[in-house]
Amino acid sequence: MNVAVIGLGYWGPNLLRNLYEIKSCNSLIACDKDESKLEKIKLRYPTVAIEKNYRNLLTNDRLQAVVIATPVSSHFPIGQDFLKAGKHIFLEKPFTQNTAEAEKLLQLAEEKNLITMVGHTFEYSPPVLKIKEIIDSGELGKIYYISTSRVNLGLHQKDVSVIWDLAPHDFSILFHWLEAEPIRISAMGKDYVQKNIPDVAFINMEFASGCIAHVQVSWLSPSKLRRTAIIGSKKMLVYDDTENIEKVKIYDKGVDYKDPETFGEFQLSYRSGDVVSPYIKNFEPLNMEMKHFLDCCGTHQRPKTDGYNGLRVVKALEAAEKSLRNNSKVMEMK
């Protein structure tokens, strides 16, 4: 495979490093308009080719696929250019800056029979995969609700809100676990530090199954929280990504409601049992993600996190942001 990485800012070098270590990736090009970034790459990876203008790559016949890690506003034009040039594309999250752009890319890729993939890295991370396994096994029972926080004193973005910056992670994880998209979204938030760029948001979602989810994102919190609670009818699970060892805990706790046998009788029984923190094998999600992209490009198989996966997250982000900017008005989806 011959692959190029476009955009070598904060995240691009990580993607490059992982591609560099994958055997099937026999030729790599690094591309950024900032020459100082290319120089750093050259020093670190002498065998990687460099290119300042991505347009020069469009006509490179040996190039089969590109991995795009530029600011979100350029995802669409750059992605479109490469699809038109017949290259498979991987786009960092969020996939595009709105639904229309995502749909156009997907249509183009279908016409050209090309792979589109989105960088929802958490869907390749060990704890998220383990939790998917646990949910699918039925161990938690029916999923009642999920509450998640992704907050800390974070790097404020100057072009996108905290919703577009942080919520893609939570949305992609949730939709993956539930295998569903929300039917209703609302959000409350504010722009405290920079005018017109919300830096805190409380997002509510409802699913057709009756499940509800709450997502709290903020760049303005004193301590780092990455905590998700999944409440099921049988058991409950807590996933704390700031924990080093016991990231996932399953609580054998619950409350059962018995239909009153005689009118008016109120019967609940509470269960309390062991807490189990399952062993989770450690591996690098980015490595798995990049390998999966190369595999899909080679076999023309649909990626686990394909463009449609990217689109549904963009749709939800768009709705949440709209609600936030309209006094938390509830958005009915579709």
Is 224 or 302 the residue whose CB approaches a second copy more closely?
A: 224
Write down the least CB distance from residue 246 to a second copy, Å. 6
Q: What is the DSSP letter of 123?
A: G
Among 116, 121, 161, 186, binds a second copy (CB under 8 A): 186
Query: Hey, which bits of 96-138 come out as E strands?
Result: 116-119
Write down the least CB distance from residue 285 to a second copy, Å. 19
Rg (CA), the chain: 22
Facing residues of 67 across strands? Answer: 5, 90
CB neighbours (10 Å) of residue 271?
A: 12
| Residue 223 CB contacts under 8 Å (≥ 6 apart), including other chains | 152
60 near a second copy, judged by CB under 8 A: no
| Residue 68 CB contacts under 8 Å (≥ 6 apart), including other chains | 6, 7, 75, 78, 79, 82, 89, 90, 91, 92
CA angle, 116 then 118 then 121, to 5°: 145
Write down the least CB distance from residue 82 to a second copy, Å. 29
Among 27, 58, 104, 278, binds a second copy (CB under 8 A): 278
263 near a second copy, judged by CB under 8 A: no
299 near a second copy, judged by CB under 8 A: no
Is 108 or 220 the residue whose CB approaches a second copy more closely?
A: 220
Q: Strand, coil or helix: what is 222?
A: coil
27 near a second copy, judged by CB under 8 A: no
The residues in 193-232 that bind a second copy, with binding defined as CB under 8 A, are: 193-194, 200, 202, 204, 206, 210, 212, 214, 216, 218-224, 229, 231
Residues in the chain: 334
Is 208 or 330 the residue whose CB approaches a second copy more closely?
A: 330
188 near a second copy, judged by CB under 8 A: yes
257 near a second copy, judged by CB under 8 A: yes
Helix axes 75-84, 99-112, angle to 10 degrees: 10
244 near a second copy, judged by CB under 8 A: yes
The residues in 119-178 that bind a second copy, with binding defined as CB under 8 A, are: 144-145, 147, 153, 156, 158
Tokens found for residue 235: 């058991």
- Shortest CA distance to 161 belongs to which of 72, 70, 67, 68? 72
CB-CB contact of 292 with 299 (8 Å): no
Q: Residues in the site for a second copy, rule: CB under 8 A?
A: 46, 144-145, 147, 153, 156, 158, 184, 186, 188-190, 192-194, 200, 202, 204, 206, 210, 212, 214, 216, 218-224, 229, 231, 233, 236-238, 242, 244-246, 249, 251-255, 257, 266, 268, 270, 272-279, 327-330
